[in-house]
């Protein structure tokens, strides 16, 4: 570390402590645990922070931000560290502001159908609190048991049920955030409608801590839906599964529509034998929560569409326990692939009609690169999770995994899609995101400059960091 950086670090620590920035962590062994998130091992840079601040109030976040700004030290905001794109990876000598201790549900109003929470609230905790009032917080990322609402906001997280209920942005009403100068910014409104000014709430959602640090979120709640009806279908051909997806989404609004390819089917069957059809090229899983009678009619109609598209096995149930058994295979997709090695999890999204072409293209990429790729994901909105399995101790295997990953991103763009549907850009996809945003990258940089003139908030993340 240079003398200049050492001086800045010393000034930062003194300033933050004096200003009341909350608990500061300086122990090197503890700092090491804040270096990176859960992105693929061996592929992304991760520095060592000078310190970690763990505030419990907005005022303490303000103090930490102001101390870093005066010392000229970059800031890396962090939630649970469960991200998959390196968005929370530290920079050498930075200040990590961990929001994990800001974990209070500040208000839950059943009459207004809203909740206001601090950013460190775990998604599952909010879901349970809402359920106690017979209400639902709809966004349900796969990490809902341990990811935070602040992290969900930072990446605009989706999930299995977003095909019907939308992603995190659709549930947001307003935000409190600390700007790069330490001032508090409040955006949004409590009303369900309102069009005054630019939509800064939506702008901050998905900005990955590069514009401001979220310290409160006000979200909308929904009435608890009826018990769901469930479907599982096996297809001998990917194209047949694609036809079923298109037919279902044209005519119905399932609360879940998920897909697994044959590589993932095989991995799941190896992990936990379920008598899955190993000759199938794809499996679909669908749920309807339209109501006891309406849901039964809708799931039966979706089953008929699967059969017409060429499914050779279709199972349906109106029992929740049986439904969970049917979709258990889908929930085991990632754990099953992780048993085979290190995983590089992607989340490209393409138009619904392009899902079969994406899956075929991924198979060709796997063959060319000599890697194992299992694909599963949210068929109802075209957001797929090609998962590359590799040996992280083998430099050649790591290189081939990265080559395959980049080829998948390029394929998604060729098919009219996007390089990230819900996991964020972070470090992992900066270059690909810059290519996708080529026509508006100057505006993206200008927005960043307005919010963060000194460039201290998560400065090495997102597309503008490539220049």
pLDDT, one tens digit per residue, over 338-380 is 999 999 999 999 999 999 999 999 999 999 999 999 999 999 9
Q: What is the pLDDT of residue 428?
A: 94
As a dihedral over the C-alpha atoms of residue 196, residue 201, residue 203, residue 204, rounded to 10 degrees, the angle is 150
pLDDT value at residue 5: 52
User: Does the pLDDT at position 10 exceed 90?
Assistant: no
Confidence of residue 464 (pLDDT cuts 50, 70, 90): low
Show the tokens assigned to 41.
């091992």
Q: What is the average per-residue pLDDT within 391-411?
A: 95
* Predicted local distance difference test score (pLDDT) of residue 462: 72
Domains and CATH numbers, the chain: 3-99 (3.30.43.10), 105-223 (3.30.465.10), 226-333 (3.30.70.3450), 341-422 (3.30.70.2740)
Higher pLDDT residue, 306 or 42? 306
Q: Evaluate if residue 1 carries a pLDDT over 80.
A: no
- The residues that bridge with 388 in the sheet, in sequence order, are 344, 373
How much is the average pLDDT of 220-228? 95
* CB-CB contact of 182 with 66 (8 Å): yes
Q: Which of 39-53, 405-419, 445-459 has the lowest mean pLDDT?
A: 39-53
- How many CB atoms neighbour CB 394 within 10 A? 14
Whether 177 shows a pLDDT value over 60: the answer reads yes
**What is the per-residue pLDDT for 467?**
47
Q: Are strands 342-345 and 383-390 parallel, antiparallel or unpaired?
A: antiparallel
The Cα 163–Cα 259 span in angstroms is 13
Task: Cite the DSSP H helix spans in 255-381.
Answer: 262-271, 292-309, 320-331, 333-338, 355-369
Overall average pLDDT of the 240-248 stretch: 95
Tell me: pLDDT of 6 over 90.
no
Band (pLDDT 50/70/90 cuts) for residue 194 is confident
Give the model's pLDDT for residue 465.
66
Q: What is the pLDDT of residues 123-171, one digit of tens each?
A: 999 999 999 999 999 999 989 999 999 999 999 999 889 999 999 999 9
| CA–CA dist 232, 286 (Å, integer) | 7
CA distance 99 to 214: 9
CA distances from 254 to 40, 303, 324 (A): 32, 12, 16
Indicate if the pLDDT at residue 20 is higher than 50: yes
Region 105-114: mean pLDDT is 97
Q: Of the given ranges (90-94, 188-192, 260-264, 298-302), which has the lowest mean pLDDT?
A: 188-192
Q: Residue 48 pLDDT > 70, yes or no?
A: yes
pLDDT at 262: 94
Residue range 61-84: average pLDDT? 95
Closest residue by Cα to residue 165 from 287, 254, 258: 254
pLDDT tens digits for range 259-301: 999 999 999 999 999 999 999 999 999 999 999 999 999 999 9
Kindly state the percentage of the chain with pLDDT values over 70.
96
């Amino acid at each position: 570390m240079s003398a200049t950086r050492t001086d800045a670090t010393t000034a930062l620590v003194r300033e933050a402590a004096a200003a009341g920035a909350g608990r500061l962590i300086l122990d090197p062994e503890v700092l090491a645990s804040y270096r990176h998130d859960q992105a693929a091992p061996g592929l992304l840079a991760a520095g060592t922070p000078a310190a970690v601040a763990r505030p419990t109030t907005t005022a303490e976040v303000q103090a930490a931000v102001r101390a870093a700004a005066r010392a000229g030290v970059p800031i890396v905001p962090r939630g649970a560290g469960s991200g998959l794109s390196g968005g929370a990876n530290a920079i050498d000598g930075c200040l990590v502001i961990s929001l994990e201790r800001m974990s209070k549900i500040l208000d839950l109003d059943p009459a207004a159908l809203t909740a206001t929470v601090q950013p460190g609230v775990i998604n599952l905790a909010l879901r349970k609190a809402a359920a106690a009032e017979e209400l639902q917080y709809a966004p349900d990322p796969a990490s809902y048991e341990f990811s935070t609402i602040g992290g969900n906001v930072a990446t605009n997280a989706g999930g299995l049920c977003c095909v019907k209920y939308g992603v995190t942005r659709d549930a947001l009403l307003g935000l409190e955030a600390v700007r790069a100068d330490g001032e508090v910014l409040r955006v949004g409104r409590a009303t369900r409608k309102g069009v005054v000014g630019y939509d800064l709430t939506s702008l901050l959602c998905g900005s990955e801590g590069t514009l401001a640090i979220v310290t409160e979120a006000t979200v909308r709640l929904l009435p608890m839906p009826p018990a769901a009806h469930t479907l599982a279908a096996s297809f001998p051909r990917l194209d047949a599964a694609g036809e079923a997806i298109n037919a279902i989404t044209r005519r119905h609004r399932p609360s879940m529509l998920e897909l697994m390819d044959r590589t993932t089917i095989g991995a799941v069957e190896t992990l936990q034998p379920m008598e899955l059809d190993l000759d199938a090229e794809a499996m679909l899983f669908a749920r309807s929560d339209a109501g006891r009678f309406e849901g039964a009619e809708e799931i039966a109609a979706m089953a008929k569409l699967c059969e017409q598209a060429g499914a050779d096995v279709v199972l349906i149930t109106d029992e929740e326990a049986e439904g969970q058994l049917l979709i258990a295979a889908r929930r085991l997709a990632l754990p099953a692939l992780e048993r085979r090695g290190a995983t590089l999890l992607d989340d490209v999204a393409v138009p619904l009609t392009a899902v079969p072409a994406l899956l075929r293209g991924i198979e060709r990429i796997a063959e060319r690169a000599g890697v194992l790729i299992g694909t599963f994901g949210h068929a109802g909105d075209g957001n797929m999770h090609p998962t590359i399995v590799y040996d992280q101790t083998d430099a050649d295997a790591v290189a081939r995994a990265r080559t395959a990953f980049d080829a998948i991103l390029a394929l998604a763009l060729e098919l009219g899609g996007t390089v990230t549907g819900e996991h964020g850009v972070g470090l992992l996809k900066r270059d690909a995101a810059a290519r996708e945003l080529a026509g508006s990258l100057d505006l993206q940089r200008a927005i960043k400059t307005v919010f963060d003139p000194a460039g201290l908030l998560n400065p090495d993340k997102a597309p503008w960091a490539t220049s």
